[in-house]
Amino acid sequence: MVKTFGRIFPYCCIAAFILHWVLVLVLALPPRLNSKITALSPPRIKTMFSSWRLFTPPYTYHQRLYFIIKDTTRNDNTDTLEVLEPLAKQKRASAPFNQKESNIDHLVNNNASGLLRTVWEYKKIPGEAFPSSSDATYISSTIASVKNSRNYQLYLATLYNYCKLVLKEHHISESGKVVKIIIRKKMIRPFKDINDLNDKQPEILVFENAFTTLKP
Amino acid sequence: MTGNTIPYYINRLQQENYKSFYLAFLRVAISTWFLKELCINWSSLDILYGTESFVVHKPNFISRLPGGFAMARTHFWWLIIPYIGVLGLNIMGIGRWVTGLALFIMVDLLQKMNMSVINGGDKMAKLILLYLVIADSYQYFAWQNKKKEANEKKKKLRNLLSNLAALSIMLQLCVAYFATGLAKLYDPLWQQGEAVYYAFSMERFMGTPFNQYLVQNKWLVIAATYFVLLFEIGFPVLIWIKKLRAPLLIAGVLMHVGIYIFLMIYGFQIVFLLIYGLFLPNDRLLSFFNRINVFNRIARIRG
């Protein structure tokens, strides 16, 4: 019995090895080639072996995340804080020892992108749907269709938590304040206009929610 | 024909651990890389795993534990301290595969505590740890590498598993490049040779002030984009041809160093470059190591 096992074990190893690699190869293929198979695989395996997509597709815009802070006691008093551009500058200034800035940049950007993905999945963003305008009604109706989804709530809660940190850094008290989040895309100058240094790209509004109080 | 081929290859894989030196080096290097990552993240550990974290996580294994994420965040040092210890043990090769497995589980737990900051390098490093669990990476750089000789059958099995593990790490690199290359092939900006322009222009990744000057050169952008595309598609196929191995590895080093400098993506590049050593012959690496090894030199001088 032990002898037989000893004889077949190397073959079992080779069979497991081949099977493993066939599965990994299938899981790693781009979604359009293997969507049916990856849909069947457990999420844990999928995240472990698939999604190798460095800069695919490349970003064609810079993200801008605005926190609009309104004092409820004084209707005319509104503060606007944009957080991603200063974060990118800090990251560049402290490179290569920029781990802390890099981590925060990663966390905030990933959550802002996740929020946009949740809202705009299968839909056209305002810049594509209405090239010259950003329709607030269109955005609010799109948000309304996903606002109960778990992902939307998690991403939004993360950004509000980050907002609290930013307020603390700027010595702004949370009490009596309501906050709204705005995300804009600032397009990178198209490649065909590479040498046109005067070409200023517009910011497209892609997300705007209503004012809410920050939860403790 | 096939009936004889499979036993022949199995027999060959059992004869020797063909990557014994580099597997040991990789164990030490990847553990050191994890230690380095921990050290450079030291000041932001509380933001990443502790109570200062502002990320609201998707439910996963940790949220199902008693106390969930709140509990894990309050007591994350209970994981960090043993993690440092296990990293040290793995560097010294103490505890062998048991330590390797414990390290893999700890890395997995830490990554689950903050999925938002995980990049391709972290994923690849974790997979290397997983494959190293089944490999015999203790013939060099291990506390007690002169272990009692195992019987022939056990030795053969260990060689087979080590060779399969080494091959798996190499294949994992090939799959990562190939999947990325294939995804790029479908993307219009990569097809038109414009993608590097956008990557270099992103303010989040603009590693040097030179980025904006470099992307002014249209031909440089097109050449760099197609170079990356061809490299990622070509590497998994051509790396197995001995004559092309050296130029491909040099091209890969150039690409990763370029990403390191110009796009400020650091840890990722080191992990990918570490795997390159597995494509080099064991004996050549070993003789190189013996030449530069300070202890050997001292012994030679003492005569």
- Determine, yes or no, domain membership for A118: yes
Q: Cis link prior to A31 (omega < 30° from 0)?
A: no
Give the integer Cα–Cα distance in Å for B81 and B90. 14
Tell me the per-residue pLDDT of A51-97, one tens digit each, with 9 for 90 and over.
777 777 788 999 999 999 998 887 777 889 999 999 999 999 998 88
Q: Are residues A24 and A106 in the same domain?
A: no
**Distance to chain A for B145, nearest Cα, Å:** 25
Q: CB distance A99–B218 less than 8 Å?
A: no
Domains: count for chain A:
2
Higher pLDDT: B196 or A135? It is: B196
Q: Are residues A34 and A105 in the same domain?
A: no
A215 CB-near residues (< 8 Å, 6+ apart): A160
The residue length of chain A stands at 216
**Closest residue in A to B165 (Cα–Cα):** A17
- Determine, yes or no, domain membership for A54: no
pLDDT beyond 60 at A41: yes
**Neighboring chain B residues of A58 at a CB cutoff of 8 Å:** 187, 189-190, 195-196, 198-199, 202
Which of B46, B198, B216 to mutate to probe the A interface, most A CBs <10 Å? B198
Q: CA dist B193 to A75, B186, B188, B202, B220, Å?
A: 51, 12, 9, 17, 10
pLDDT recorded at residue A132: 58
Q: Are residues A88 and A173 in the same domain?
A: yes
- Determine, yes or no, domain membership for A34: yes
- Dihedral pair phi/psi, residue A79, rounded to 5°: -110, 140
Q: Are residues A36 and A72 in the same domain?
A: no
The residue range of the domain holding A165 is: 61-213
| A62 three-state secondary structure | strand
pLDDT recorded at residue B15: 93
- Determine, yes or no, domain membership for A207: yes
- Determine, yes or no, domain membership for A70: yes
**Neighboring chain B residues of A201 at a CB cutoff of 8 Å:** none
SS3 of chain B: CHHHHHHHHHHHHHHCCCCHHHHHHHHHHHHHHHHHHHHHCHHHHHHHCCCCCCCCCCCCCHHHCCCHHHHHHHCCHHHHHHHHHHHHHHHHCCCHHHHHHHHHHHHHHHHHHCHHHCCHHHHHHHHHHHHHHHCCCCCCCCCCCCCCCCCHHHHHHHHHHHHHHHHHHHHHHHHHHHHHHHHHHCCHHHHCCCHHHHHHHCCCCCCCCCHHHHCCCHHHHHHHHHHHHHHHHHHHHHCCCHHHHHHHHHHHHHHHHHHHHHHCCCHHHHHHHHHHHHHCCHHHHHHHHHHHCHHHHHHHHHC
Q: Are residues A74 and A42 in the same domain?
A: no
- Determine, yes or no, domain membership for A196: yes
**Neighboring chain A residues of B189 at a CB cutoff of 8 Å:** 57-58, 60
Q: Residues A122-146: what's their mean pLDDT? A: 77
**Distance to chain A for B196, nearest Cα, Å:** 8
Tens-of-pLDDT digits for all 303 residues of chain B? 455 788 898 999 999 999 999 999 999 999 999 999 999 999 899 999 998 899 998 888 888 888 888 888 999 999 999 999 999 999 999 999 999 999 999 999 999 888 888 888 999 999 999 999 999 999 999 987 665 666 888 899 999 999 999 999 999 999 999 989 988 998 999 999 999 999 999 999 999 999 989 999 999 999 999 999 999 999 999 999 999 999 999 999 999 999 999 999 998 899 999 999 999 999 999 999 888 877 666 666 665
Q: Does residue B195 contact residue A55 with C-beta atoms inside 8 Å? A: yes
For CA atoms B258, B261, B264, B269, give the dihedral sign: positive
Q: CB distance A188–B43 less than 8 Å?
A: no
pLDDT recorded at residue B292: 83
Q: Does residue B222 contact residue B197 with C-beta atoms inside 8 Å? A: no
Q: CB distance B47–A55 less than 8 Å?
A: no
Q: Which of B127, B76, B198, B134 is nearest to A49 (CA)?
A: B127
Give the integer Cα–Cα distance in Å for A76 and A44. 50
Q: Are residues A160 and A77 in the same domain?
A: yes
Q: CB distance B55–A111 less than 8 Å?
A: yes
The residue length of chain B stands at 303
Q: Are residues A102 and A38 in the same domain?
A: no
**Neighboring chain B residues of A30 at a CB cutoff of 8 Å:** 179, 182-183, 186
Q: Are residues A122 and A202 in the same domain?
A: yes
Q: Are residues A83 and A41 in the same domain?
A: no
Q: CB distance B120–A59 less than 8 Å?
A: no
Q: CB distance B175–A28 less than 8 Å?
A: yes
Q: Are residues A103 and A16 in the same domain?
A: no
Radius of gyration of chain A (CA): 23
**Distance to chain B for A178, nearest Cα, Å:** 19
Give the integer Cα–Cα distance in Å for A156 and A153. 5
| pLDDT level of residue A38 (50, 70, 90 thresholds) | low
**Neighboring chain B residues of A188 at a CB cutoff of 8 Å:** 198, 201-202
Which of A46, A54, A154, A162 to mutate to probe the B interface, most B CBs <10 Å? A54
Query: Would you say the pTM of this structure is higher than 0.95?
Result: no
Q: Are residues A42 and A74 in the same domain?
A: no
Q: Are residues A83 and A13 in the same domain?
A: no
Which of A5, A25, A56, A159 to mutate to probe the B interface, most B CBs <10 Å? A56
**Distance to chain B for A73, nearest Cα, Å:** 28
Give the integer Cα–Cα distance in Å for B188 and B195. 9
Per the listing, tokens 């950004």 go with: A159
**DSSP bridge partners of A182:** A66, A208
The shortest CB-CB distance from B189 to any of A25, A58, A194 is to A58
Q: Does residue B118 contact residue B143 with C-beta atoms inside 8 Å? A: no
Give the integer Cα–Cα distance in Å for B33 and A95. 19
What is the ipTM, given to two decimal places? Answer: 0.87
Give the integer Cα–Cα distance in Å for B138 and B21. 9
